[in-house]
Amino acid sequence: MSEFVYPPVIATARTLFRLMGLRFRVEGAEQVPRTGGAVLVSNHVSYLDFIFAGFGAHPSRRLVRFMAKKEVFDNKISGPLMRGMHHIPVDRNAGASSYRAALNALKGGEVIGVFAEATISRSFTVKDIKSGALRMAAAADVPMIPMAVWGGQRLWTKGRPRRLFQRKVAVTILVGEPMHPKRGDDFEKLTKELRDRMTELLEKAQREYPDVPKGDETWWQPAYLGGSAPTPEEAAELDRQDKEIRRSA
């Protein structure tokens, strides 16, 4: 597979982040296999998560092909980049084709990135997740690796103005131990285990995060740590309202 776009994009991102003074902590990167297919499953707190989650695979010299909603590929700016990096569009009206594309990539030895919550979590906790990533890993007979990213919400997240040039923000990327789902497993049970693992990683990232919100910055801290982010219940209601607005548009 030709890689004319992905490496320059990574190099550009690294340069920009260095100029911004972003402080990265990456832990557990050795869990990403250096060869063969794998599914990376990350939480979702910002629009930059695909970049940060991808950084977790860089020490293993792997390029992650993320599954992202079709609208991102339709954009005249992001679309060419996404296609050039061989990410996989997800059309919710034709999900089977996206699944097949990801499965073929996994069998071809690629690393596929999935945000199992589907949308950004406004509460900055792990939302309910679906079993698709587990079933995909089982069908391709590849490991599934839980991840947690934290800090990117301070730069750009749902419902908040973009602050892409905020300096010296800390970004934490934690990679957990692989799971090895197989055909015929109890996927309901495994989905709960995956969510528990993601939650454990995320809470570790949050509790060990070096920065403390000050003044009116408490919005990026989850409610369970004393922040002013919506509770999971409040976030679910906001998501429901968004869906209603989109349906009526």
pTM, to two decimals: 0.95
- pLDDT tens profile 127-142: 999 999 999 999 999 9
Three-class SS of residue 235?
A: helix
pLDDT band at 96 (very low <50, low <70, confident <90, very high): confident
Q: Residue 8: is it exposed, middle or buried by C-beta count within 10 angstroms (0-12/13-18/19+)? A: exposed
Tell me the angle at which helices 132-140 and 187-207 cross, rounded to the nearest 10 degrees.
110
Among the residue ranges 69-73, 105-109, 121-125, 186-190, the one predicted with the least confidence is: 69-73
CA 240 vs. chain centroid, Å, equals 21
**Regarding the domain delimited by 6-217, which CATH topology (the fold level of the hierarchy) does it fall under?**
Glycerol-3-phosphate (1)-acyltransferase (3.40.1130)
State the average pLDDT for the chain.
Answer: 95
Residue 246 has pLDDT above 90, yes or no: no
Decide: 45 and 198 in contact? Cβ < 8 Å: no
b vs e for 197-235, b when ≥16 Cβ sit within 10 Å of the residue's Cβ?
Answer: bbeebbbbbbeebeeebeeeeebbbbbeeebebbebeeb
What pLDDT is recorded for position 212?
A: 95
Point out which residues pair with 88 in neighbouring strands: 67
Sign of CA dihedral 236, 56, 225, 129: positive
